[in-house]
């Protein structure tokens, strides 16, 4: 008599990964359905870091939003600064000076390299390549020192201004940057030797986290993640801004849309960013040394005494010698990096403290109820962030505060596709796939 065997029952397991898991950055939770080690389904929860960025921007004047933009993608904050400023400038109908546009390009590309180094270094560390992490963070430190030299801060820089930037590049910045880029290339060569043909690394990355170009486009994915599928879409090429149309560079692409191609694309993008920086440093117009500063230099106390007697002829063209407390950017520096637009740009400190026109100009831009007042209207402007298209949609009602600010963060659309990326792969593949997204919580959950 035959023995009937009971039917085998398969039970799927549901597993929480994050938000406390180290690879989830403390702000993302994955609820995955598993059949053994294989992922059958996934649900992504991103709501552990809501910063209310968009509403905070609508509370104060336009320039008050600059520190908030630092905290979107806080690994490459200058790109956020300049993207927001560009949107407001286009709403106002003004254009930054040529030197300022070159400065924005240089600092944006330094920030892009820093972002990619952080992404690839951390992703390598999560797969066991701790040496690569140390090498890349060492290179990032050199770049952050350049950012600190220009902005006075390393991470939350607040360097952009509507109509310009906070300060000009310091003396010797170009030569120092060229030396740093040479050292960074050496680090990338070492990391390329350690990773690119490493059998363990390649096996972990190739064929995992795959997405087709059609699906990537349907999700609205941009940046290195999209370019790894073979779509050569780059905002710097598609809709050039600043002076990117004057600087030749290549847009690297992949073929397979997997984690390995995304690694290769980011590695090549760092080389292209260095190429852009070197060309921009060679092309940037001269700064204050070539600015005509006609007029005599007066001590501030002398100017005040003369003004009391009504002897003000020529004061508007005169420079003022200030004590260290009041000394800011000289007028030459100021004019080189800020648009000649009284509606949006504060006067040089020499003018603010040296003549009544400058004082009134400063007062009108700072005083409550005045400030920057774009005409009624709306504008959407996008730049190429480290993770893709970073867009700012600004609506003005004619007041000194934005009526509405909306951000299009590049990693939000990629996170929307994350369940599709990890389904069918193994649990161990979640970590490199999530790392290749380069999710930044500050911009994703605004």
The CATH number for 62-287+409-444, chosen from 3.40.640.10, 1.10.3720.10, 1.10.645.10, 3.50.50.60, is 1.10.645.10
What is the pTM for the complete model shown? 0.88
Lowest mean pLDDT across 44-58, 65-79, 217-231: 44-58
Quick one: pLDDT band at residue 300, thresholds 50, 70, 90? low
Q: What is the pLDDT of residue 290?
A: 30
- Helix 77-92 and helix 98-126, axial crossing angle in degrees, nearest 10: 150
Q: What is the pLDDT of residue 294?
A: 40
Q: Would you say 298 and 321 are in contact if contact means Cβ atoms under 8 Å apart?
A: yes
Mean pLDDT of 167-188: 95
Q: What is the pLDDT of residue 51?
A: 83
Kindly report the backbone phi and psi dihedral angles of residue 137, in degrees, each rounded to the nearest multiple of 5, phi listed first: -70, -30
For the stretch 312-349, pLDDT in tens is: 666 666 666 666 555 555 677 788 888 988 889 988 88
Rounded Cα distance between 346 and 247, Å, is 30
Mean pLDDT of 418-423: 95
| Residue 140 Cα distances to 38, 146, 183, 396, angstroms | 36, 10, 11, 38
Q: What is the DSSP string of 194-262?
A: HHTT-HHHHHHHTTSS---HHHHHHHT--THHHHTTT----HHHHS--TTGGGS-------SS-SHHHH
Q: What is the pLDDT of residue 402?
A: 95
Mean pLDDT of 397-412: 94
Q: Give the pair of three-digit tokens for residue 35.
A: 């059949």
Q: What is the pLDDT of residue 291?
A: 30
How many residues are there in the chain? 446
Rounded Cα distance between 28 and 412, Å, is 12
Q: Within the chain, what is the greatest distance between any pair of CA atoms?
A: 123
Mean pLDDT of 232-249: 96
Q: Would you say 368 and 338 are in contact if contact means Cβ atoms under 8 Å apart?
A: no
Of 30, 39, 49, the C-alpha closest to 12 is 39
* DSSP element (H, E) containing 237: helix 235-238
Q: What is the pLDDT of residue 322?
A: 63
Q: What is the pLDDT of residue 3?
A: 62
Q: What is the pLDDT of residue 354?
A: 77
117-131: burial string, b at 16+ Cβ within 10 Å, e else = bbbbbbbbbbbebee
Q: What is the pLDDT of residue 2?
A: 61
Q: What is the pLDDT of residue 98?
A: 93
Residues β-bridged to residue 14: 33
For the stretch 10-31, pLDDT in tens is: 788 999 998 988 888 888 999 9
As a whole-number percent, the residues of the chain with pLDDT over 70 amount to 90
Pairing of strands 29-35, 319-321: unpaired
Rounded Cα distance between 404 and 89, Å, is 15
Q: Would you say 69 and 320 are in contact if contact means Cβ atoms under 8 Å apart?
A: no
Rounded Cα distance between 306 and 313, Å, is 10
């Amino acid at each position: 008599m035959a023995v009937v065997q009971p039917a085998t029952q398969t039970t799927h397991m549901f597993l929480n990964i994050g938000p406390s898991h180290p690879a989830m950055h403390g702000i993302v939770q994955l609820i995955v359905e598993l059949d053994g080690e294989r992922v059958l389904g996934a649900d992504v929860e991103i709501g552990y870091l809501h910063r209310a960025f968009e509403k905070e921007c609508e509370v104060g004047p336009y320039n008050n939003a600059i520190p908030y933009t630092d905290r979107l993608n806080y690994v490459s904050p200058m790109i956020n600064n300049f993207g927001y400023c560009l949107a407001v400038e286009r709403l106002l109908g003004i254009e930054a000076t040529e030197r300022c546009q070159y400065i924005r390009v240089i600092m944006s590309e330094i920030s892009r390299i820093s972002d990619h180094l952080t992404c690839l270094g951390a992703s390598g560390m999560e797969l066991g390549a701790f040496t690569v992490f140390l090498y890349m963070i060492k290179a990032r430190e050199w770049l952050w020192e350049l950012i600190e030299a220009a902005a006075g801060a390393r991470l939350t820089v607040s360097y952009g201004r509507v109509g310009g930037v906070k300060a000009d590049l310091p003396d010797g910045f170009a030569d120092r940057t060229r030396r740093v880029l040479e050292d960074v290339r050496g680090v990338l060569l070492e990391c390329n030797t350690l990773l690119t043909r490493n059998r363990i690394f390649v096996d972990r990355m190739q064929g995992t986290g795959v997405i087709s170009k059609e699906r990537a486009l349907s999700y609205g994915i941009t940046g290195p993640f999209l370019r790894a599928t073979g779509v050569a879409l780059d905002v710097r090429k598609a809709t050039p801004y600043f002076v990117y149309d004057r600087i030749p560079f290549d847009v690297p692409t992949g073929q397979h849309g997997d984690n390995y191609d995304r690694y290769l694309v980011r590695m090549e993008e760092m080389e292209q960013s260095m190429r852009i920086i070197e060309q921009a440093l060679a092309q940037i117009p001269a700064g204050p040394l070539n600015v005509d500063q006609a007029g005599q230099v007066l001590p501030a106390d002398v100017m005040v005494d003369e003004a009391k007697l009504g002897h003000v002829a020529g004061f508007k063209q005169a420079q003022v010698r200030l004590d260290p407390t009041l000394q800011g950017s000289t007028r030459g520096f100021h004019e080189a990096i800020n648009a000649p637009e009284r509606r949006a740009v504060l006067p040089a400190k020499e003018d603010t403290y040296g003549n009544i026109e400058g004082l009134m100009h400063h007062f009108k831009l700072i005083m409550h109820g005045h400030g920057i007042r774009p005409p009624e209207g709306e504008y959407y402007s996008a730049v190429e962030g480290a993770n893709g298209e970073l867009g700012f949609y600004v609506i003005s009602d004619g007041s000194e505060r934005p009526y509405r600010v909306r951000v299009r963060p590049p990693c939000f659309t990629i996170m929307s596709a994350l369940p599709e990326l990890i389904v069918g792969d193994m649990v161990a593949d979640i970590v490199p796939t999530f790392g290749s997204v380069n999710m930044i919580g500050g911009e994703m959950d605004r």
